[in-house]
A and B are shown apart, each in its own frame.
Chain A
Amino acid sequence: MMESYEVAIIGGGSAGLAALKQLSNLGKQAILIEAGKQVGTKNISGGILYSKKPRNGRVHNVEDVYPEFLQDAPIERKITQYMLHSTSRNKVFTLNLTAAHEYQANFGYSVLLNRLTAWFAKQAGESAEKQGGGIVSGVHVKSLSWPGEKTVIETDELDPFEAKAVIAADGVNSEVAAMTGARTKFTPEQLYQGVKVIVKLPEEIIEERFGVGTDEGAAHLFAGDVTLNHIGGGFAYTNRDTLSVGAVYHYDSLMTRPTEPSTLVNALLKNPMVAEFVKDEVAVKMEINKDLPKEEQLRVRFATSKLIKTWNELRDAWYSPSGRKRLVEAGKFKTEAEIKSRIDYVQNELTSKYSTRFVTDYVELEYGAKLVPDGKRCAMKKPFHKNVLFIGDAAGRGVFIGPRIEGLNVGIDDAVRAANAVARAIDRNNFGPQYMGEYYSQMIEDSPYTRDMREIDKDYLKIFLDAAKDVPKDIIGQRYGMLFRLMSSGTLRGLAVGFANILGYDKLLPLVESEDTYVQVPVELAEKMGRSMTAMYEPTLPTVAQRVARLKYDDDRASHIKVLNPNSEFMKKMVVLCPTNCYSIEGGEVILQHEACIECGTCAKETEWHHPRGEKGIVYQYG
């Protein structure tokens, strides 16, 4: 007999897990199916996780779903500075947007999704277990069908099972959306491509460099020439002992003039300001003399690796109050000063015995990419199909307006709304589209985030204009004309916003989200008003192959992607736009080598695209 469950949630990202936690909080049984072997290994973000308090209406925040969030969750730093930099060559002009960051916000924390999602999973999993449910990871859902009222779910790994309600939280490249036909694949106009690297940097160096206290952090956004003329921008966020450095660009802008994602991050890393942000002391191994006997070569290689590992570990601990305390308390060192002398000793050994050099450079730990749905353009109008409710990226929801980058919090809010709708259906044992789907759809309509995806918020705009009050009007005015001049005036702003909203986002967006906004204006600002910056070194930028070599995969011999038309213009662009160079041209045709795929979804539109089977594919360590 087939196993049967009340609710099946497909996808264990921040959205799916919040749905599981909320359902369990409401005393309902639910299971969650996640493709990654460990929950959190497939998820990637920028990322700042917000908790919001809109003036009208209410949203469900992360700390409402997980009451222990603030005390216990592995959050990185509370963002207390939010800066927007306009760049041109070595010139940088800075606007302080901390007020915009704090606008209607309880807090914004920098987060790394691997560890945070794992924490969500622990909380949600424990609650779910009490209701007879839980999390099943390493399982990939491949089809849904409705032989009767219940949905039969088939996976690549398990015997089929059935559920009365399904919550689709399977991300921007949702296969559930494709299987059910609930929506078409997103088009380039509706998407951004996000790419980022994790840079290692010891804790107290971050605090000194960014001028933030313990537990505090900074967010820096970049526009101007670092975008290589694409619409979008770069970011650098401080985590506890790493930085997240990346870029998010409109996918259609990349389609017009394809640029390698890796090149886009490199452009950012080469900017003198960012280069100075990421720099650190780095040990460089000496090439081993190939004339030495094999045994001696091995000994030198292993000894160097071991000493460098020790040097790194001790140094990371040394630059962290908790790290120093831990080493002393564990009895490994008598005093903190002893740690420092040990580091010096190891460094000296490495230099004198193994010819290791110590140079200024930066250390990249992880490279990653993913599509981001632009909620303004692709949020599902009715995010359900039969008894399946769509949430988060799967529903195309997220608030991305200028420097406002919010997907995580939106997905969590959706999750609570979906869970509440499902719980109500369970109480009535009515999972019909009228009773459950329509009800959920209405709750989504009521979400303040939905409003933000459709309308300009004049108060948010004001903060912007206030921050930019010293910007010469001619730079802005000549481009945006009448509308913006109206908005700069306090009394007329309401009128202007009203007018803009009548015009509608679809008409307004091409005007605002343009090369002018993201490239020309910032470049002009930087050139006219920026300060000069110089980097003291040139970062050694890894090649794509080196970046891929550092990633962890669980290889699947079978490809999860099938190229449909190897001659199409779209596929030819993938040769450039695939972040890990999976595509190449051979004999005029585009061919795919899927092994390095990081499941970003960039090529999904014109391929038969699935996530890999359970446990297979990319395994992010930071995310």
Chain B
Amino acid sequence: MSDLNIAVNVKLEPDFSEGNVSYNADGTLNRAETKSILGPHSAVASNAAFYSKVLYGARVAVTTMGPPIADIALQQAQLLSDADELHLYSDRMFAGADTLATAEVLKTGISKVDGKTDIVFSGHRASDGETGQTGPQTAWKLGFTFLGNVIDYYVDMQSRIVRAKRLISLQGFYDVVEEVEAPLPVFIAIDPSYKASFNTVSQRLAFEKYQKEAKGRAQNYKQYLKVFNAQQLGVDPKLVGLPGSPTIVYKVEKIPKAKASRKAEVVEGSSREQLAKVATKIFEVLGGLVIK
């Protein structure tokens, strides 16, 4: 048994990259024609879990709630995190869940993971319309300390304390990095800018070793996969799916783009004359302003 047990909540999301995404004539996403993949924020959370695998030999479980095909998100997350265990919570009963009902399923799932979970990682938010609340709500339901926007962390294995750096954006002002400490267990929502760093040769060698292991495991990911329906999970039907969702999204509207208030003139090309034209324009507009 490992000294550190980690769970990662991930999500299957549409692949928005060109050549893979498809839109309907009205501009909405054509879900049937668009491939789904592990969401980018979930990928970052998986990377964060892998960091603990390399440094502390942590045991990693990846969990997700979704349709049966969401197992590919688990496979991709296993490739990134070298997970020892994969959980898929899949049941028609879960359909229509909002963030709170999702958190209920994820919370219950964590209790099914082998060993007592010390850290849960989740992405910052999903890319296909989610509000970033699932994480905090799951943490609250689990009774874990919640740490959001984490860009770096390490675990003092002796004292079982997590030290983390949080990136806080003071909108309109500047960004600050806050350093916090919390005893295990914790729930960490990882910031998209997180990047693990491995600073010694031996850490890099361990990294290579686990990464190779991850490749092998992900190829046979079904061996690590456990699928739970509502009954197997033992969730309260009142707390999941539509019945457990206090919020309902009844309409999604496109926000009309504001009319540009500036007038722009496009000067094509890079010849001397064209550049001179741009310079003259700038000078006209800025008038007496001196640019240093």
Most buried by A among B18, B27, B205: B205
A166 CB → nearest B CB, Å: 14
| B-chain residues with CB within 8 Å of residue A133 when the two chains form the complex | 205
A76 CB → nearest B CB, Å: 24
Interface pair B209/A129, CB less than 8 Å apart: yes
User: CB of B130 within 8 A of chain A?
Assistant: no
| B-chain residues with CB within 8 Å of residue A168 when the two chains form the complex | none
Partner-binding segment picked from A47-55, A173-181, A297-305, A450-458: A297-305
B192 CB → nearest A CB, Å: 18
Interface pair B204/A139, CB less than 8 Å apart: yes
For A133, the closest partner residue in chain B by CB is B205
A517 CB → nearest B CB, Å: 43
A38 CB → nearest B CB, Å: 11
**Contacts A158-B199, A158-B201 known; A306 to B26 CB distance under 8 Å?**
no
User: CB of B22 within 8 A of chain A?
Assistant: yes
| B-chain residues with CB within 8 Å of residue A157 when the two chains form the complex | 199
Q: How far is the CA of A305 from the CA of B33 in the complex (A)?
A: 13
| B-chain residues with CB within 8 Å of residue A306 when the two chains form the complex | 19-20, 22
| A-chain residues with CB within 8 Å of residue B27 when the two chains form the complex | 295, 298-299
Contacting residue for B201 out of A125, A136, A309, CB 8 A:
A136
For B24, the closest partner residue in chain A by CB is A299
Contacting residue for A298 out of B23, B204, B212, CB 8 A:
B23
Contacting residue for B199 out of A129, A159, A299, A303, CB 8 A:
A159
B169 CB → nearest A CB, Å: 22
User: CB of B219 within 8 A of chain A?
Assistant: no
**Contacts A5-B201, A161-B200, A299-B25 known; A305 to B18 CB distance under 8 Å?**
yes
User: CB of A31 within 8 A of chain B?
Assistant: yes
B55 CB → nearest A CB, Å: 14
Interface pair B202/A3, CB less than 8 Å apart: yes
| A-chain residues with CB within 8 Å of residue B25 when the two chains form the complex | 295-296, 299
Q: How far is the CA of A303 from the CA of B18 in the complex (A)?
A: 9
Interface residues of A in 119-147 (CB under 8 A from B): 125-126, 129, 133-137, 139
**Contacts A3-B200, A158-B199, A302-B18 known; A136 to B26 CB distance under 8 Å?**
no
Chain B 20-63: CB-based contact to A (< 8 A → 1; otherwise 0): 11111111000000000000000000000000000000000000
Q: How far is the CA of A608 from the CA of B144 in the complex (A)?
A: 54
Interface residues of A in 257-307 (CB under 8 A from B): 295-296, 298-299, 301-303, 305-306
Q: How far is the CA of A158 from the CA of B203 in the complex (A)?
A: 10
Q: How far is the CA of A301 from the CA of B22 in the complex (A)?
A: 10
Q: What is the count of residue pairs linking A and B with beta-carbon distances less than 8 angstroms?
A: 56
Contacting residue for B22 out of A31, A139, A161, A302, CB 8 A:
A302
Interface pair A3/B201, CB less than 8 Å apart: yes
Contacting residue for B200 out of A158, A296, A301, CB 8 A:
A158
A227 CB → nearest B CB, Å: 33
Chain A: interface residue count, which band? 20 to 34
Interface pair B26/A295, CB less than 8 Å apart: yes
| B-chain residues with CB within 8 Å of residue A161 when the two chains form the complex | 200-201
Interface pair B19/A309, CB less than 8 Å apart: yes
User: CB of B208 within 8 A of chain A?
Assistant: yes
Interface size on B, residues (CB 8 A): 19
Interface pair B23/A159, CB less than 8 Å apart: no
| B-chain residues with CB within 8 Å of residue A136 when the two chains form the complex | 201, 204-205, 208
Contacting residue for A302 out of B23, B201, B209, B212, CB 8 A:
B23
| A-chain residues with CB within 8 Å of residue B24 when the two chains form the complex | 299
For A299, the closest partner residue in chain B by CB is B23
| A-chain residues with CB within 8 Å of residue B18 when the two chains form the complex | 301-302, 305
| B-chain residues with CB within 8 Å of residue A295 when the two chains form the complex | 23, 25-27
| A-chain residues with CB within 8 Å of residue B205 when the two chains form the complex | 31, 129, 133-134, 136
Interface residues of A in 385-413 (CB under 8 A from B): none
| A-chain residues with CB within 8 Å of residue B20 when the two chains form the complex | 306
Q: How far is the CA of A125 from the CA of B212 in the complex (A)?
A: 10
Q: How far is the CA of A192 from the CA of B53 in the complex (A)?
A: 46
Q: How far is the CA of A355 from the CA of B202 in the complex (A)?
A: 56
A406 CB → nearest B CB, Å: 31
Q: How far is the CA of A314 from the CA of B287 in the complex (A)?
A: 59
Q: How far is the CA of A309 from the CA of B35 in the complex (A)?
A: 14
Q: How far is the CA of A126 from the CA of B209 in the complex (A)?
A: 9
For A301, the closest partner residue in chain B by CB is B18
B51 CB → nearest A CB, Å: 15
Interface residues of A in 285-336 (CB under 8 A from B): 295-296, 298-299, 301-303, 305-306, 309
Q: How far is the CA of A296 from the CA of B202 in the complex (A)?
A: 53
Interface residues of A in 574-588 (CB under 8 A from B): none
A153 CB → nearest B CB, Å: 9
| A-chain residues with CB within 8 Å of residue B199 when the two chains form the complex | 157-159
For A8, the closest partner residue in chain B by CB is B201
A549 CB → nearest B CB, Å: 15
Interface residues of B in 191-243 (CB under 8 A from A): 199-202, 204-205, 208-209, 212
| B-chain residues with CB within 8 Å of residue A301 when the two chains form the complex | 18
For B206, the closest partner residue in chain A by CB is A134
| B-chain residues with CB within 8 Å of residue A305 when the two chains form the complex | 18-19
B115 CB → nearest A CB, Å: 27
A157 CB → nearest B CB, Å: 8
Q: How far is the CA of A296 from the CA of B22 in the complex (A)?
A: 12
A302 CB → nearest B CB, Å: 6
B14 CB → nearest A CB, Å: 12
| B-chain residues with CB within 8 Å of residue A309 when the two chains form the complex | 19
Interface pair B208/A303, CB less than 8 Å apart: no
Q: How far is the CA of A572 from the CA of B192 in the complex (A)?
A: 44
**Contacts A306-B20, A309-B19 known; A135 to B201 CB distance under 8 Å?**
no
B154 CB → nearest A CB, Å: 16
| A-chain residues with CB within 8 Å of residue B19 when the two chains form the complex | 302, 305-306, 309
| A-chain residues with CB within 8 Å of residue B201 when the two chains form the complex | 3, 5, 31, 136, 158, 161
Interface pair A134/B22, CB less than 8 Å apart: no
Q: How far is the CA of A130 from the CA of B201 in the complex (A)?
A: 16
Q: How far is the CA of A129 from the CA of B201 in the complex (A)?
A: 13
Q: How far is the CA of A302 from the CA of B20 in the complex (A)?
A: 8
For A309, the closest partner residue in chain B by CB is B19
Q: How far is the CA of A208 from the CA of B251 in the complex (A)?
A: 58
Q: How far is the CA of A299 from the CA of B33 in the complex (A)?
A: 12
Chain B 64-105: CB-based contact to A (< 8 A → 1; otherwise 0): 000000000000000000000000000000000000000000
Top 4 A-B pairs, shortest CB-CB distance? A295-B27, A136-B204, A134-B205, A305-B19
| Given A302-B22, A305-B19, 17 additional A-B pairs, CB 8 A | A3-B200, A3-B201, A5-B201, A125-B208, A125-B212, A129-B205, A129-B208, A133-B205, A135-B208, A136-B201, A296-B25, A298-B27, A299-B24, A299-B25, A299-B27, A302-B23, A306-B20
A-B contact pairs, 21 of them (CB 8 A): A5-B201, A31-B205, A126-B212, A129-B208, A134-B208, A135-B208, A136-B204, A136-B205, A137-B208, A157-B199, A158-B204, A159-B200, A298-B27, A299-B23, A299-B25, A302-B21, A302-B23, A305-B18, A305-B19, A306-B20, A309-B19
**B interface list, Cβ under 8 A from A:** 18-27, 199-202, 204-205, 208-209, 212
